[in-house]
Amino acid sequence: MLAQTELERALPAGLPPILLATAATPSVAALRLPFEGLGPEGYLVRTVTLNGRPTLLIAGNGDKGALYGAFALIRHLATTPFADTLSLSSAPRVKLRVLNHWDNLDGSIERGYAGQSLWDWWTLPDFRDPRYTDYARANASIGINGTVLNNVNAKADSLTAPYIAKAAALADVFRPWGIKVYLSVRFSAPIELGGLKTADPRDPAVAAWWKAKADEIYRAIPDFGGFLVKANSEGQPGPRDYGASHADGANMLAAAVKPHDGIVMWRAFVYAETDPEDRAKQAYTEFKPLDGKFADNVLVQVKNGAIDFQPREPFHPLFGAMPRTPLMIEFQITKEYLDFATHLAYLGPLFTEVLDAKTGQKRGETVADVVDGQAEGHKLSGMAGVANIGRDRDWSGSTFNQANWYAFGRLAWDPDLSAEAIARAWAAETFGNDRQVVDTVTAMMMGSREAVVDYTGALGLAHLMATGHHYGPGPWVADLARPEWNPVYYHRADAAGIGFDRTTSGSNAVGQYAGPVARAFAKPETTPESMLLWFHHLPWDRRMADGRTLWEDLVGHYDRGVAYVGRMRQQWDSLKGKVDAEIWQKTATYLAIQEREARWWRDASLAYWMSVNHRPLPAGVRPPEHDLAWYKAQHFPYAPGQAH
């Protein structure tokens, strides 16, 4: 049994005998333990007396529960001494806890910063790299139970027989660890592979093609999870090409996998170059009217915010607005907009900030309540994380990036966990349970994402990065083909003020939010300062809560972000000799890179804002190192992770 092996690898000596069992094991059944609420994946770990002897029981309603229980025990004992009255119990609140790999068939990864794709498509299905097993173990240990193998910008080839066989080999490796395989599909595959003239979802030949394709996949992978679809978004084909709706497209695919208990995850990330509406509004506008129109094995997958994985965004207005549809939330674990692998940014606080946000739709309802689907009685629920995993030795490009993979898994299992508790557990499991190490690492992590917000653009600014690769500052960019690709579209800075007016006097994106939330966002006074310029265009000399002007406050945020990174370097220095030397050195080097680049972000941004608002820096503030022209001249043609 896999759980047994994991326990033997990880547990200290001196524990009572361990019994891995299920609720149906006769000796366990006699104990009358509370298995009812655990479902197929929940676990119960408890010290019990069996045959007169103290025994550590790890059990669930089935093997999956016992496996998750074993990992829970290992995690618990990594941070807490064994106690005779140990009692742990948990069941996942979210059913589909899924990684999205934006991995291409040529081995590159869109927005990947940890080397090539872990999947060596070239040697699959023959060679099953032992790392595939390690990947599955790592995921199972944090509760992840599904993985979408290929990029949402999908090639039709992933649905050909050779690639189905490759996916099946991975599914074979992952299955014992409770992990299902899913595929991203290209909506026009019936044309490209099937030779049909259309991919119109209402065409019976198209539906038949997908049905046959699903049948073919399920013959190779009997427990195949289903399809993830990016349609009519950023150039991808979709049902709108034929005048059909997203629901038409999703339901047609859902019918194909339905006989096999498969599901469809349909992304709501759409915005059209022909649509002059505020990009932040378009997904809601397109999908809200479709509520109730999706088949019961479809989930609509909604990004955490309405733009695109910025260091901070307000929660997406669709959460709570489609009560008749199970909405998955999609987070990005890979740090596309947070300067990639070298910047230490713990995303736990980003994830929990969104999950904990009140939707305003129902009294007390949070985004997490929508995502777990329990209020509406949805049988499906899901959380997706765009993976930060590659073939590099440290899996994620840096040791600290592993914490974001870890935090995603833990929160998908239990969205009520605190980001800090997760950070502490990760630190202890990663570096050992030395108090100074855990305290210091946790302290570094907890403010690190806010530091990125501060040095890249605080107060609700967003999408200020350079073009294409999204690395480094580019708030001045104004020459891209589509208006909503340009940073100037987002910040709208001029001599008088800065910010995107999304109130009734502007795009009225606030109108997509419900009741009290909409009312709060409608006025600067009641909008959290952290999101102020997301919703409002305001004068540079507006007074902020602390009495400073907006401009002074913004400058202060840049300096605070840079200073935080400097502090992290000092904190990390204090751990030299207390963590693995190789990990210490690499992390120290990366923090030095981060501090330099944080300064660059700050300096470039200030130089630009000053060119727009013609204001001096507040007294005592360090001027940018270079002039604006210098920052504009920086180019990085070989930045990693670019789409191609």
The set of catalytic residues is 234, 308, 336
Contact between 583 and its own copies (CB under 8 A)? no
Convert residues 51-90 into a mask of x (bound to its own copies by CB under 8 A) and - (unbound): ----------------------------------------
Contact between 563 and its own copies (CB under 8 A)? no
Member of 72, 86, 105, 459 binding its own copies (CB under 8 A): 105
For residue 227, the cross-strand partners are 183, 264
Q: How far is 477 from 479, CA to CA, in rounded Å? A: 6
Q: Give the interface segment with its own copies, choosing from 28-36, 105-113, 429-437, 509-517 (CB under 8 A).
A: 105-113
For residue 100, the cross-strand partners are 148, 386
Convert residues 121-150 into a mask of x (bound to its own copies by CB under 8 A) and - (unbound): xxx--xxx-x--------------------
Nearer to its own copies by Cβ, of 122 and 630: the residue is 122
Nearer to its own copies by Cβ, of 13 and 161: the residue is 161
CA-based end-to-end distance of the chain: 43
Alpha helices by DSSP H, listed for 52-193, are: 63-79, 130-141, 161-174, 189-192
Q: Quick check: bond before 26 cis, omega within 30? A: no
Question: Measured from the CB of residue 166, what is the shortest distance to its own copies in angstroms?
Answer: 11
> Do strands 43-50 and 53-60 pair parallel, antiparallel, or not at all (unpaired)?
antiparallel
Q: Token digits for 78?
A: 């990594």
Comparing CA positions, the residue from 574, 336, 567, 347 lying closest to residue 446 is 347
For residues 351 and 420, the answer to whether their CB atoms sit within 8 Å is: no
Q: How far is 632 from 543, CA to CA, in rounded Å? A: 31
Q: Give the interface segment with its own copies, choosing from 2-10, 42-50, 70-78, 385-393 (CB under 8 A).
A: 385-393
Which DSSP symbol is given to 526? G
Contact between 342 and its own copies (CB under 8 A)? yes
* Residues with Cβ within 8 Å of residue 64, at least 6 apart in sequence: 40, 41, 178
Contact between 172 and its own copies (CB under 8 A)? no
Contact between 590 and its own copies (CB under 8 A)? yes
Contact between 582 and its own copies (CB under 8 A)? yes
Contact between 157 and its own copies (CB under 8 A)? yes
Nearer to its own copies by Cβ, of 145 and 587: the residue is 587
Q: How far is 258 from 211, CA to CA, in rounded Å? A: 9
Subset of residues 254 to 283 that bind its own copies, contact rule: CB under 8 A:
none
The enclosing H or E element of 594 equals helix 581-613
Nearer to its own copies by Cβ, of 486 and 594: the residue is 594
Member of 10, 11, 77, 593 binding its own copies (CB under 8 A): 593
How many CA atoms within 13 Å lie on the side-chain side of 477? Answer: 23
Count of chain residues binding its own copies (CB under 8 A): 31
Nearer to its own copies by Cβ, of 53 and 393: the residue is 393
Subset of residues 619 to 638 that bind its own copies, contact rule: CB under 8 A:
637-638
Question: Measured from the CB of residue 158, what is the shortest distance to its own copies in angstroms?
Answer: 10
The interaxial angle of helices 204-220 and 246-257, nearest 10 deg, is 40
Nearer to its own copies by Cβ, of 106 and 296: the residue is 106
* Residues with Cβ within 8 Å of residue 458, at least 6 apart in sequence: 530, 554, 557, 558, 561
Contact between 191 and its own copies (CB under 8 A)? no
For residue 9, the cross-strand partners are none
Nearer to its own copies by Cβ, of 192 and 275: the residue is 192
The enclosing H or E element of 521 equals helix 515-522
Binding site for its own copies (CB under 8 A): 104-108, 115-116, 121-123, 126-128, 130, 157, 340, 342, 391-393, 582, 586, 589-590, 592-593, 637-640, 642
